[in-house]
Amino acid sequence: MALTPVLLLLLAYCLSGVSSSAGPPPRSFTSLFALGDSYIDAGNFVTMATPVAPVWVDKPPYGMTFFERPTGRFSDGRVIVDFVAAALGVPFLPASLANSSDDDVARRGGVNFAVGGATAVDVAFFERRRLVPFKLLNNSLDVQLGWFEELEPSLCNATAESSYGGGRCFSRSLFLVGEFGVNDYTFLWTANKTESEVMAFVPRVVRTIASAVERLIVRDGAAHVVVTGNPPIGCSPTLLTLLRRTSRPTSAADDDDYDHIGCLRGVNDVARHHNALLGAAVVGLRARHPRATIVFADFYTPIRRILENPNQGGGQ
């Protein structure tokens, strides 16, 4: 698959046609801050996991199509946040845990706090209930938000909008929150939880995300936030492999567990429920914070369209 045009198409779909409060056009943003998981991680997973867990994204073929070397991204090239940065005219975001010889310069255009494998809900929830057979990295949404707040004083000095004087430090920054939830639900699915049990967990995940967004706005002064929904994770090779049955019908159309393109119906039902609740939460956040621009970015629909019509948008 030709990755670049597909990602560009995906980005255009995600951020088009959304309603929000009035805000500056993209060219007026001076910095970008990202929190999330492997969809946008720029190297934090490698830094966190190297001493304690197997690492694979620091080796070829990762990074081969753009950077020509592994960068810690879970991709053969760029990830979505890189395309957002390019559209805003800011440099690719440094991973927050990466060392830099000049941190202020490196962070002037923003910072990427995302970590592959990150959850919305605190990792202790999954460990205490033995939902995972291994020790998780402490990389949840709340942890990433804490990293941002620890760096906030230096970030305020480093970001370009500080030179304008007056107003809040991050008034010209764009915050990308997510995606979150995929790993939370994956841990439940792979622990043999039923669809109804996973569905019952969705409100907790959504409340955690909404609370973090509100904290960014109220405590940290974020004025422009993009909150991303879940993709159709029932189509992901990971879950299709982990949840496959030993005896599967020869035709996906003959099996109620799979839809017409071979994706897991129940898993995608959870993703759609997550997106519906998260979209409603964003509407509520807009009502409570009318001076902030809060956008819900739909990952599910464009990815589903690409999977159903792979020849569109550069697929082969």
Q: How much is the mean pLDDT over the chain? A: 85
Over range 303-308, report the average pLDDT: 93
**CATH no. of 3-314:** 3.40.50
C-alpha span between 272 and 277 (Å, rounded): 9
pTM: 0.87
CA separation, residue 101 to residues 104, 111, 113, 242, 304 (Å): 9, 15, 18, 42, 42
Q: What is the pLDDT of residues 25-64, one digit of tens each?
A: 444 899 999 999 999 999 999 999 998 888 899 899 999 9
Burial of 184 (0-12, 13-18, 19+ CB in 10 A): buried
- Phi, psi (rounded to 5 degrees) for 228: -100, 140
How much is the average pLDDT of 191-208? 97
Spell out the domain ranges in the chain.
Answer: 3-314
pLDDT at 167 over 70: no
pLDDT single digits (tens) 131-155: 998 899 999 999 999 999 999 988 8
* Cα separation, 206 vs 289, whole angstroms: 18
Between CA 53 and CA 105 the distance in angstroms is 31
Q: Are 34 and 148 in contact (CB under 8 A)?
A: no
